[in-house]
């Protein structure tokens, strides 16, 4: 059963995560890569909107149950490969040669919040869902690349509070700190506003991609150089 689907709404590709809490695991990463490649092959597409069809969740982040199952089976190579592939997916979104807009329709926790930060712009429902980095409470520190992604979307003073407190934030709070473009009153308004914003972009892919490559060069360097040692040593959790 697929966990991601996409369809065209005019010149906008709407990518929908369709697996409940939309946890990130090997299958999710593979299908997202495939979906983004398919969209890229359609030259008529000018922008992408990423959302979920779940009533409560945008994405709850890493599939921790799957991850610990692999760790318990001593399948460390699968875990390392997953962590590297996840970084590559975030980098793909970051450098995608057209605007990518996250329509956050519910809870965006941990890696679910990070994937929205990898997008260029974010909209979020005001009537449902929280945005949160709970890693400080569960003992899973961010990789340097994840921090760099978050820092692209979130002002440093706010990112510091988010990461060190694990506090949950609402859409109006995020709008106040310019983490999202707009706090939307309902699901209907969320998709209407996200799609309308996406349609304002009629940029050529070549220049748009090059602008993003130069704008985000520092983040790419962090992913390519700083994440590796943590992944290689599987230093992915702090127990005390």
Tens-digit pLDDT profile for residues 172-207: 999 999 999 999 999 999 999 999 999 999 999 999
Q: Is the Cα dihedral 54, 139, 146, 67 positive or negative?
A: negative
Domain contains 233: no
Domain contains 208: no
Q: Given this model, what pLDDT does residue 74 score?
A: 83
Residue ranges making up the domain that contains 166: 4-199
Domain contains 206: no
How many distinct structural domains can be found in the chain? 1
C-alpha 82/C-alpha 89 separation (Å) is 10
Least confident piece of the model among 63-67, 108-112, 175-179, 199-203: 63-67
Domain contains 207: no
Mean pLDDT of 195-220: 97
CATH number at residue 18: 3.90.226.10
Domain contains 205: no
C-alpha 153/C-alpha 160 separation (Å) is 13
Per-residue pLDDT of 123-151, as tens digits, reads 999 999 999 999 888 888 889 999 998 99
Tokens of 110: 């941990």
Q: Given this model, what pLDDT does residue 239 score?
A: 64
Domain contains 217: no
């Amino acid at each position: 059963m697929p966990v991601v689907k996409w369809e065209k709404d005019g010149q906008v590709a709407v990518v929908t995560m369709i697996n409940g809490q939309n946890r990130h695991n090997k299958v999710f990463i593979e299908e997202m890569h495939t979906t983004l490649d398919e969209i890229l092959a359609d030259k008529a597409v000018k922008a992408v909107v990423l959302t979920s069809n779940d009533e409560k969740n945008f994405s709850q982040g890493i599939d921790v149950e799957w991850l610990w199952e692999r760790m318990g089976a001593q399948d460390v190579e699968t875990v390392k490969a997953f962590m590297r592939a996840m970084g590559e997916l975030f980098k793909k979104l970051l450098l995608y040669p057209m605007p990518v807009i996250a329509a956050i329709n519910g809870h965006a926790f941990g890696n679910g919040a990070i994937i929205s930060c990898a997008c260029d712009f974010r909209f979020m429902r005001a009537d449902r869902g929280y945005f949160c980095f709970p890693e400080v409470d569960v003992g899973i520190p961010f990789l340097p690349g994840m921090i760099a992604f978050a820092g692209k979307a979130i002002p440093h003073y706010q990112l510091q509070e988010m990461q060190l407190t694990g506090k949950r934030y609402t859409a109006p709070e995020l709008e106040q700190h310019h983490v999202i473009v707009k706090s939307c009153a309902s699901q209907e308004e969320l998709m209407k506003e996200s799609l309308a914003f996406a349609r304002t972009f009629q940029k050529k892919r070549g220049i748009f991609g090059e602008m993003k490559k130069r704008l985000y060069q520092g983040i790419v360097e962090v992913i390519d150089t700083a994440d590796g040692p943590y992944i290689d040593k599987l230093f992915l959790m702090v127990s005390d």
